[in-house]
Amino acid sequence: MKDFFKNVLASIVGVLISSFIIGAIVALLFFGFIGILLSSSSETFVLKNNSVLSIRLTGVMKDRVVSNPLLEIFNTGEAKEMALTDILSAIKKAKTNDDIKGIYINSGYFMASSASLTEIRNQLLDFKESGKFIVAYADDYTQGGYFLSTVADKVILNPQGSLNLQGLSVSPTFYKGLLDKIGIEMQIFKVGTYKSAVEPFILDKMSAANKEQVSSYINNIWSTILGNISASRGITVERLNQLTDTLPTFQEGEFDVKNHLVDTLMYESEVREYLKGLLGIDNSKKLNIATVSDMATVPDSQKSKSSDQIAILYAEGSIVSGSKPTDINDRYFIKEIEKLQDDDKIKAVVFRVNSPGGSAYASEQIWKAIEGLKAKKPVVVSMGDYAASGGYYISCNASKIFAQPTTLTGSIGIFGMFPNVEGLTNKVGLSFDNVKTNKFSDYGDITRPMNEQEKAILQQYIERGYKLFLKRCSEGRNIPLDALGKIAEGRVWTGKQALEIGLVDALGGIDDALKEAAVLANLSDYSIREYPKLSSPFEAFFNTQTEDLATRAMKEYLGTDFYLLKTIKDIKDLKEQDFIQARMPYDLQLK
């Protein structure tokens, strides 16, 4: 008994000491980050004459990024996320600012869709009209980095570097074999021959219909990418495909120069000397560099002060039911839409959609809010990397829709997945019994398979949801239901294909959508406001969720293996979301 109390007392003391140590660490982190926040807020960047805008491509690209000092504890020095909006803004300012003489693109390892890269590429082409130079360099060019960098006047590769040009592929992971082994059956209800998001849970390979649609859109994207490279480098698309099939990644640098894929080979130190030569400064002098984040504090000489405003409403991520300002939560987004609807200063709205879809119910709620907004002012959709399934649902009733040629959109279809874990419970020796008052009182019991009557009821429910989805798209796009049915069926289309079949109105980016919104609102001058309001670093510090820290830690641990992390997140998302989904199956990134 004495030993018992001694052990209890030791445990209590141990817990107290551990709690004190953890508390001290948290306090140190807290005050340390407060110091970082205060010091960073007092820093201002002064743009010097004869400067170069440096665009460093590394990490993962999103439409917008909130700076969060707390998450930087897991940062090894390179940016983990890039904001598309920050890059576009920096290029625009650089074009009209006399202190900026050119742009230097340093392409590292990063993940981005070709649609986002096209947006930047077009902004760089616009920048070149100023007569200023663009120089691109990489130790190793990814396909995305090379696609973007070919717009440069000089494309430079490290002498010992590589240039990745291998084409596109889609390789989904199938879970059916694993589920069979552990005794879990996924009961599937869907509408749409091409609605393939459920395939990994019920098949061990892609269906013929899925292979058909994937082959169609990746070949369309690849031809668009090569067309842009061809125009910039003066190499025919046929020749680019021939070079791709030699796997340039493993060829010597001289091979890339000989075949005009790059202009020259230089080490990074030599590139800096080359930039100094373009600026007309001595090698002994310092090269004045302005980063994308530096340019955020540089005044925009072209910014309008008009009281008439066009709002850009950003919707990025999965569509879910909820009220938190993360992803596209329906209740939170509806409140934002209602603010725009009631603000008389806002004359039009550009709805920036970058979503593979999600909850069918939440998509319908956002659709309804957009319908109310459009009744009072023009709404122009700008599609980003994805506006598919639920992402298309919330876009379809806009006044006009713009997409990039390689945007993935369409995927008009819905599905539901319900697990049956009876096999698993049998394996581990669990059994269950049931008493109920009504026929379907135990509906949703995952410890047994659904009976035929339950399956029929659920299939009817899914089909009713699909008919509503079709109705929304038909009315929004003014396409007869029978004609729409032929291009729906859950099929994914590129923006270029979507234009041909009437799912979008024009090809273009955010700027094109803004110009169209101004025309529809009869505005010759307007200022721009972005919504939802981004959190300040200080707010982000206090709003950091445990999951954010865990995700950042996993990214750091996994290094560049973003696909493993995304697979884990996708499974978690499906587990936590509504059973009825309008979601696109794949995430296509240039690597």
Residues noted as catalytic: 195, 389
- Contact yes or no for 418/446 (Cβ under 8 A): yes
Looking up tokens 């209740």 gives 331
Q: Mark 343-363 as b/e (b = at least 16 C-beta within 10 Å).
A: eeebbbbbbbbbbbbbbbbbb
Bridge partner residues of 59 (DSSP) = 110
Closest CA to 144 of 542, 589, 573: 589
* Residues in contact with 151: Cβ distance below 8 Å, sequence separation at least 6, in sequence order: 121, 124, 125, 128, 134, 136, 232
Q: Other C-beta atoms within 10 Å of 29: how many?
A: 12
DSSP state of 221: H
Burial class (CB within 10 angstroms; exposed 0-12, middle 13-18, buried 19+) of 498: buried
| Residues constituting the chain | 591
The vertex-237 CA angle with 106 and 116, nearest 5°, equals 40
H helix or E strand, kind and range, residue 218? helix 208-233
CA distance 210 to 223: 20
Residue type, 58: T
- Contact yes or no for 346/529 (Cβ under 8 A): yes
Q: Other C-beta atoms within 10 Å of 589: how many?
A: 21
H helix or E strand, kind and range, residue 52? strand 51-62
Residue type, 523: L
CA distance 457 to 459: 6
> How many Å is the Cα radius of gyration of the chain?
27
- Contact yes or no for 334/323 (Cβ under 8 A): no
Torsion of CA 451, 452, 455, 459, to 10 degrees: 180
Q: Report the number of secondary-structure helices (H) and strands (E) in the chain.
A: 22, 21
Strand pairing category for 100-111 and 133-141: parallel
Tell me if residue 526 falls in helix, strand or coil: coil
Quick one: tokens of 303? 């910014």
The answer to whether the bond into 405 is cis (omega within 30° of 0) is: no
* Residues in contact with 142: Cβ distance below 8 Å, sequence separation at least 6, in sequence order: 107, 109, 110, 164, 590, 591
Tell me if residue 109 falls in helix, strand or coil: strand
